[in-house]
A and B are shown apart, each in its own frame.
Chain A
Amino acid sequence: AQSVTQLGSHVSVSEGALVLLRCNYSSSVPPYLFWYVQYPNQGLQLLLKYTTGATLVKGINGFEAEFKKSETSFHLTKPSAHMSDAAEYFCAVSEGRTGNQFYFGTGTSLTVIP
């Protein structure tokens, strides 16, 4: 069985500060891991993904995440927050190889304070 836990349903950071959104996963097979962002009244936009290979993955808009197998984590970071980063962020896991059934975390709402 697969599951995702996102620590912190609400995170607030000042503009220009580090963004850190936490994600821990549980998977019985090597996971595929994803971060998606959702703006109000919109669908989900893929930020980045980890499937195999390099454990530090870079995504769009300056975001990156590191896959740490020993900690079963896939935390999302951005060195300097921008006002436009305010949104809901979802971490997801899938088996990948047998289809696109994603298990999502409950989401983290990011607020950026000017």
Chain B
Amino acid sequence: KAGVTQTPRYLIKTRGQQVTLSCSPISGHRSVSWYQQTPGQGLQFLFEYFSETQRNKGNFPGRFSGRQFSNSRSEMNVSTLELGDSALYLCASSLGTEGSAYFGPGTRLTVT
């Protein structure tokens, strides 16, 4: 069974731009969660989508948004990028009911 895939793996953007990251969950998984990982703040929960609906949301500004498609693939968008948005963005997929989450390799975003 293929694992969680994230594209692109690396991204360099300029302040003020916007970016879209993509996540394809494990086949059959209906839940996709997004996390931001930085050296200073660690792993922080952004949001979770389940069957195309946002089920949980972390404490991030509205510049961070996401969506999930009918095939469970998810995208995360960050608008008006700031230097502090530089991070590893991790996507996790799960069945949505039994707790275990399986993480993708992440997208390394650098904002200059």
- Decide yes or no: A32 and B99 within 8 Å by CB, A100-B31, A100-B94 being known contacts: yes
The contact string, 1 if C-beta is below 8 Å from chain A, for chain B 69-106, is 00000000000000000000010101010111111111
Indicate if B8 sits at the interface (CB-CB under 8 A): no
- Decide yes or no: A103 and B45 within 8 Å by CB, A36-B103, A43-B4, A46-B100 being known contacts: yes
Indicate if B15 sits at the interface (CB-CB under 8 A): no
Q: Is the CB of A51 within 8 A of B98?
A: yes
Please, how many angstroms separate the alpha-carbon atoms of A94 and B35 in the complex? 14
Chain B contact residue count (CB 8 A cutoff): 25
Q: How large is the interface on A (under 10, 10 to 19, 20 to 34, 35 or more residues)?
A: 20 to 34
Q: Is the CB of A102 within 8 A of B104?
A: no
Q: Is the CB of B90 within 8 A of A44?
A: yes
Please, how many angstroms separate the alpha-carbon atoms of A99 and B31 in the complex? 8
Indicate if A49 sits at the interface (CB-CB under 8 A): yes
- Decide yes or no: A99 and B90 within 8 Å by CB, A51-B98, A104-B43 being known contacts: no
Indicate if A8 sits at the interface (CB-CB under 8 A): no
Q: Is the CB of A42 within 8 A of B99?
A: no
Q: Is the CB of A94 within 8 A of B99?
A: yes
- Decide yes or no: A100 and B33 within 8 Å by CB, A43-B90, A44-B90, A51-B98 being known contacts: yes
Most buried by A among B50, B58, B90, B100: B100
Indicate if B14 sits at the interface (CB-CB under 8 A): no
- Decide yes or no: A101 and B102 within 8 Å by CB, A43-B4, A44-B90, A90-B43 being known contacts: no
Binding site for A on B (CB under 8 A): 4, 31, 33, 35, 42-43, 45, 48, 50, 55-56, 58, 90, 92, 94, 96, 98-106
Binding site for B on A (CB under 8 A): 32, 34, 36, 42-46, 49, 51, 90, 94, 96, 98-107
28 A/B residue pairs, CB under 8 Å, sorted by A: A34-B100, A42-B105, A42-B106, A43-B104, A43-B106, A44-B92, A46-B100, A46-B101, A49-B99, A51-B98, A90-B43, A94-B99, A96-B98, A98-B55, A98-B56, A99-B50, A99-B55, A99-B56, A100-B48, A100-B92, A100-B96, A101-B33, A101-B48, A101-B58, A102-B43, A102-B45, A102-B101, A104-B42
